[in-house]
Amino acid sequence: MSTTNTTGSKVRVATVWLSGCAGCHMSFLDQDERIVDLAKKIQVVYSPLVDTKKFPEKVDVTLIEGSVANEEQLEMLKDIRVKTRVLIALGDCAVTGNVTALRNSWENSDQEVLERAYKLSEDLQAAVPNMVPKLLVKTRPLHEIVKVDFYIPGCPPSADLINYVLTELLVGKTPIMEGRARYG
């Protein structure tokens, strides 16, 4: 799958933070000065790192950190898939659910999480379900909902691995993950 831009303009890249700890985005930033080289070839059109409110049309590459834990994220992921050419699951939470899916072993995990997380007062417990997006009963990895084009496992994935994948994609090559990728 080619991500090179034949028009000569920069490749449009987005990064998205769903249910994750931000560690995968920290790893993205750990590319350090290599980001300067990337910036010559890519334009970050949407990210927690920039101030864009709405996911744009015609994105070439989207890296998604985190699993899908609530209905808002579910709809967002479907929208991103429609607007993205190459969708990458970034990190173990996006690839498998990882720690965010630990709650899946509870039968009514959505209710359990709400009760445990917001057990502050009876008033707040009654109000919270209307204040936060409705949780899915089970947290889900991206591929259970949409087609994923590449997986970058790791918790977090190393900056070297993220840089390798992006660099290969930008020159139209398919990254070879064998021997490079690891979980955890």
Name the residue with tokens 């920069």. 10
Nearer Cβ to ligand SF4, position 11 or 100? Answer: 100
Name the residue with tokens 């021997």. 179
Nearer Cβ to ligand SF4, position 24 or 142? Answer: 24
Taking phi over 0 as left and psi of -120 to 50 as alpha, with beta for the rest, 98 belongs to left
| Chain contacts with ligand SF4 (rule: CB under 6 A) | 20-21, 23-24, 65-66, 91-93, 98-99, 155-156
Query: Which residues are registered as beta bridge partners of 63?
Result: 15, 88
- Min separation Cβ 77 and ligand SF4, Å: 15
Nearer Cβ to ligand SF4, position 42 or 93? Answer: 93
- Min separation Cβ 11 and ligand SF4, Å: 23
Closest Cα to residue 114, out of 97, 98, 130, 99? 130
- Min separation Cβ 134 and ligand SF4, Å: 21
User: How big is the CA angle at 69 (ends 128 and 153), to the nearest 5 degrees?
Assistant: 145
Nearer Cβ to ligand SF4, position 11 or 135? Answer: 135
Round to whole Å and give the CA distance between 148 and 95: 9
Nearer Cβ to ligand SF4, position 68 or 93? Answer: 93
- Min separation Cβ 159 and ligand SF4, Å: 12
For residue 20, CA distances in Å to 94, 101, 163, 167 come to 8, 11, 20, 24
- Min separation Cβ 41 and ligand SF4, Å: 25
